[in-house]
Chains A and B, each alone.
Chain A
Amino acid sequence: MDFCEAFVWIERTPIAEALRTSRVLFPMVESIHLVGLALFAGPLFLTNMALLGLAMHRQPVAEFARALLPWTRGGIALLLVTGPLMFAAQATKWYDNPVFWFKMGLLTLALAFQWRVHPKVMSEAAPVRPLSAKLIGGVSLLLWISTALSAKIMEMF
């Protein structure tokens, strides 16, 4: 089974078919995706603005970033469940869309950065240097904004 056949197979699964035939299922999944995005992006945006020195001055960034961690993780979980569902509904369409692959590349980078680099700012024992903090905040903002915008652009292709 080559790559494209896998996409055809995904599109034929009962879940994917249900998402295509139902009038309400897809918009519901997309709404949950956006709610997950809000839950994740709100705190992340403010954390990154705090790292850049532009927001949340009344407590250490590490404290703010950790205070909402269960919720941002919940937000990511919602995104990672609903995203693949929306993809499955139209898998072959996305296969032919270059912006989709671009978005997946960006998403992989953003997630890797979020998992490996970003947590450094949450350490109260070893605070990051101010310059590294600015760099981490800036890169994270750029990665996630590009990911979100490419999601919008890929719908137009």
Chain B
Amino acid sequence: MPHGLMPLLRLCQWLQLTPVSVAIRESTWVFPILDAVHCVGIILVAGTIVIVDLRLLGLGMRRQPVSSVIAQVLPWTFFGVAFMFVTGSLLAWAEPVKLYRSPFFRWKLLFLAIAGLNALLFHYTTFSPARARVAAAVSIVSWISVIAAGRAIGYELSR
């Protein structure tokens, strides 16, 4: 592979040699602790957003208007996103070259992007109830996929 054509790979190789990357990779406890907090973060994000999704689908919290459910639940989703994003970035920083070569990591990023764009689109445009249900279903499927792809990365890399 000619080097000049792979700027992303070269960026990953450079990142992997930075002191932070080496430190996380070589420490006994930092990586597993980051991994644990990352898991808790994803569980919090998926576990709270699913409440909004179920409400949109008419399958839970029907006594409360959608706007009220969103207003109460979403701040906690963002709380989880902060944990997920910070720990996820540090974990990726620790082994960027492995992740560059991991197909499941690309799937995970793709599903994260779908989940994020779906949420943004829902937030900033007007949705009919039918389209809101589609958005809720897309959200549920993409978060399940993020979780599954994340697990797959672990097994893929340990082989």
Interface residue ranges, A against B (CB under 8 Å) = 23, 26-28, 30-31, 34-35, 37-43, 45-46, 49, 55-59, 63-64, 67-68, 70-71, 145, 148-149, 152-153, 155-156
Q: How many interface residues does B have (CB within 8 Å)?
A: 34
Task: Convert B49-69 into 0s and 1s, putting 1 for each residue whose CB lies closer than 8 angstroms to a CB of A.
Answer: 111001000011111100010
Known: A34-B43, A38-B43, A68-B61. A46 touches B147 (CB 8 A): no
Contact A41 B39 (CB under 8 A): no
Instruction: Judge whether B129 is part of the interface by a CB distance below 8 angstroms.
Output: no
The A contact surface, by secondary structure, is helix
Total number of residue pairs linking A and B with CB closer than 8 Å: 97
Contact A38 B47 (CB under 8 A): yes
List B33-50 residues whose CB lies under 8 Å from chain A. 35-36, 39-40, 42-44, 46-50
* Chain B: CB-nearest residue to A70: B60
Known: A67-B64, A68-B61, A70-B60. 7 other contacts (CB 8 A): A38-B42, A38-B147, A45-B44, A67-B61, A71-B59, A148-B39, A148-B43
Closest CB in chain B relative to A76 CB, distance in Å: 13
* Chain B: CB-nearest residue to A148: B40
Interface residue ranges, B against A (CB under 8 Å) = 32, 35-36, 39-40, 42-44, 46-51, 54, 59-64, 68, 71-73, 76, 143-144, 147-148, 151-152, 154-155
With the chains together, A55 CA to B72 CA distance in Å? 7
Contact B54 A64 (CB under 8 A): no
